[in-house]
Structure 1
């Protein structure tokens, strides 16, 4: 429900999702048959998708030099079935090319990702990770699952190949209200140039003397620029972009209110006032849901009217942004979504 807006707020290009609230029927959206795992590639990153695939409990997409994997392992299965699922997952991951970033709602416990103890499911996953040369990228012990009345946990885990772990930066659990029992996780991956070729690779062997020296200097300058952009990214202005077309000040305030009321429920523990606080939280959550629904309906009607007046206006940009369509070269405007 709040997913597109949160993605815009954090400039997210690749979203790894589990049990998504809504499944999009677009080419930049990859999901499995049961709709429990999905990957949504947004903005400029869409043009860098080179391969994709689907498994029983996972989906994957290769974007640039990195293969991203979304995994969902249900908590509602017996030990033997869970072991079989992990075996199939391991076989699938073993065949994937390049550097891996595996993120999933694994519904298992392990000290390695912040839990106080490791259970049987956690041990199976850690053994799989060891065989595949994967390491856990989670940092700290901030809960990723928070459901008032059911306690906190960390079922959401990020893994990556050992040699690429140093390229995972700013891994963190986002504290904002998500309209879900799970908190979003954000991190940056900067391994695109980790295996950059030497400047001489792009210098034709037939060039000699001054020409070769000048070409080598040009290629070295290009490589230096790319490496600097990778390790010291330029300031990005995505957070100044317009919000989702249906976003309003009222929705923003209701989102803050939902977060505050949910925190009060959590802090109440087993005290008598917890029941009252939980009822207030549910009421506020419904208000937020209805506000978003009403705003989308109202804005959609307005967009339809605008399309009748101007077929290349805001309605066109929103639809082509969602469908990942190419913008005709004759137009002056560009789709700014990322």
Structure 2
């Protein structure tokens, strides 16, 4: 629900998703048959997709020189079934080309990604990682799963090939409200995402839609002719070049004083449905969820939980109503 807005705020090009709220039917969206794992490639990165594929519990997309893999391993299966799923995942990852970034909701415990103890699932995944030369990229022990009443955990894990790990920058758990029990994780891959993009130097451009026509006409009539600043001794090509320069300077001065310049930058505009009201409701949801978490087992917990659920519904309805108004 909030995913597109959060992606814009973080300026994210590649989104690795597990159990997405809604699956999009688009070329830049890759999902498995059960809709539990997905990858969404946005913006300029879409042009760099060279291959993609789908497995039982994972999907993958090769973007540039890196293959990104989204994995979801359900907690609702027996030990033997989980072992079989890990074996199939290992076979699939072994065949993928190039550098790997594997991320997802693995529903396993291991101290390597911040848990206080290891369980059987975590051991199976670490053994698989060792055989594939994968290492854990998580750098914090901040909980990524926070469901009031069910405790905190770190089921969301990022792994990369050993040679890729030094290129993983700014791995972090985002603290904003997500309308999910999971917190978002963000990181950058040096040489593949924003770290390789050079800022383009745009020539000055103005927002013609906001031109003050009357002011432009008045200043143009009052301005001296460009030939005034061209020395008389200049002739031929030199005189033509100087006249062109003076004309360009006059045009620039007139545009600067009669209309604003267009803004450039990588920051994307908010989603079409985003409003100040929705932004405030999102902050309120985060605050109320934190109060529920801090309440622990105290008597006021149920009251706080009810208030949080009410605020979450308000946010959901506000987004739905805003989208409807915009489409109308």
TM-score of Structure 1 vs Structure 2, range by shorter chain = 0.7 to 0.9
Q: Is the 8 A contact 2:216 2:254 kept in 1?
A: no
The alignment's TM-score, normalised by the length of structure 1, stands at 0.74
Spell out, residue by residue over 1:301-332, the C-alpha distance to the aligned partner (whole angstroms, 9 max, x if none): xxxxxxxxxxxxxxxxxxxxxxxxxxxxxxxx
Q: Greater relative contact order: 1 or 2 (C-alpha under 8 angstroms, separation 6 or more)? A: 1
For the 8 Å contact 1:64–1:192, the answer to whether it is kept is: no
CA displacement 1:93-138 (0-9 Å, x = unmatched): 0000000000010000000000000000000000000000000000
Could you say if the C-alpha distance between residues 8 and 39 of structure 1 is closer, same or farther in structure 2, counting changes exceeding 3 Å?
Answer: same
1:164/1:231 CA distance change after superposition, 3 Å: farther
Whether the 8 Å contact between 2:219 and 2:254 is mirrored in structure 1 is no
Q: Is the 8 A contact 1:169 1:189 kept in 2?
A: no
Could you list the runs of 5+ residues in structure 1 that have no partner in the other structure? 301-337
- Aligned residue pairs total 301
Choose 192-201 or 206-215, whichever is displaced more: 192-201
Q: Map 1:128-143; keep pairs closer than 5 Å.
A: 128-143=128-143
8 Å CA contact retained: 2:32, 2:58: yes
Kept in 2: contact 1:11–1:238 (CA 8 A): no
Distance 1:107 1:221 in 2: 63
Runs of 4+ more than 6 Å apart:
188-237
Could you tell which deviates more after superposition, 233-242 or 29-38?
233-242
Please say if residues 103 and 159 of structure 1, whose CA atoms lie closer than 8 Å, have aligned partners that are also in contact. Answer: yes
Aligned-partner SS, 1:138? coil
Return the TM-score normalized by structure 2. 0.76
The question of whether the paired residues in 1 share the 8 Å contact of 2:114 and 2:141 is answered with yes
Counterpart selection for 1:202 from 229, 249, 271: 229
| Cα distance between partner residues in 2 of 1:50 and 1:34 | 24
The Cα shift of 1:258 comes to: 0.1
Q: Deviations over 1:272-320 (max 9, x none)?
A: 11110000000000000000000001101xxxxxxxxxxxxxxxxxxxx
Alignment check: 8 A CA contact 1:167 1:190 kept:
no
Q: 1:95 to 1:292 in 2, by over 3 A?
A: same
Asked if structure 2 preserves the Cα contact closer than 8 Å seen for 1:251 and 1:292, the reply is: yes
Give the 3 Å change call, closer, same or farther, for CA 65–228 of structure 1 in structure 2: farther
Q: How far apart are the structure 2 equivalents of 1:97 and 1:196?
A: 64
Distance in 1 (alpha carbons) for counterparts of 2:219 and 2:109: 31
Name the CA distance, whole Å, in 2 between partners of 1:253 and 1:288: 9
Give yes or no for the alignment of 1:244 onto 2:261.
no
Structure 1 position 241, deviation (Å): 3.1
Secondary structure at the counterpart of residue 163 of structure 2: helix
Alignment RMSD (CA, Å): 12.6
1:155-186: CA deviations, max 9, x gaps?
00000000110000000000000000000000
Judge which range, 30-39 or 234-243, deviates more.
234-243
Unaligned runs of 5+ residues in structure 2 are 188-214
Task: Give the 3-state SS of the residue equivalent to 1:237 in structure 2.
Answer: coil
| Alpha carbons of structure 1 residues 180 and 55: separation in structure 2 relative to 1, 3 Å | same
SS of alignment partner, residue 290 of structure 1: helix
Task: Measure how far apart 1:218 and its partner are.
Answer: 30
